[in-house]
């Protein structure tokens, strides 16, 4: 009797573990899933041209983007918020940093979607993947 209960317990734990793993994997979003809007990317382009392009062109991001693989969009966002522009870090509004992030993703070839990107909209759950 104890053996049967142990087998049922182990089977239940294995099934729940498999179910949890499947759900966790299925819910993981990446930047390839369209995590910003086209409007954000267009707004970000203007800000980027005025505040970022003097130091960082598309080639810069293509050369350094692999260093961000498997990190979250929120980590990238906080990095540029705290470090850029180099001559005045943190000088843009949060929405402007978000739009610049959307533009950089767009510039690197990631698709736009229907849901706006935002620090209060799950950026900490969006993983950076290489194109």
Spell out the domain ranges in the chain. Answer: 29-127
At 20 the pLDDT is 46
The series of mean pLDDT values per 10 residues for the chain, 131 residues long, is 48 45 62 98 97 91 94 97 94 97 97 96 96 88
At 4 the pLDDT is 55
Phi, psi of 29 (to 5 degrees): -105, 150
Q: Are 125 and 72 in contact (CB under 8 A)?
A: yes
At 2 the pLDDT is 58
Altogether, the residues listed in the chain come to a count of 131
């Amino acid at each position: 009797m104890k053996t049967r209960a142990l087998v049922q317990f182990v089977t239940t734990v294995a099934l729940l573990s498999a179910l949890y793993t499947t759900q966790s994997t299925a819910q993981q979003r990446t930047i390839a899933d369209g995590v910003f809007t086209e409007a954000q990317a267009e707004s970000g382009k203007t800000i980027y041209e005025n505040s970022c392009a003097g130091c960082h062109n598309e080639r810069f991001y293509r050369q350094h983007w692999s260093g961000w693989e498997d990190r979250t969009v929120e980590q990238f966002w906080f990095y540029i918020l705290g470090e850029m522009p180099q001559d005045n870090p943190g000088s843009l509004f949060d929405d402007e940093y978000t739009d610049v992030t959307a533009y950089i993703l767009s510039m690197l070839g990631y698709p736009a979607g229907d849901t706006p990107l935002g620090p209060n909209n799950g950026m900490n759950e969006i993983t950076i993947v290489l194109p």
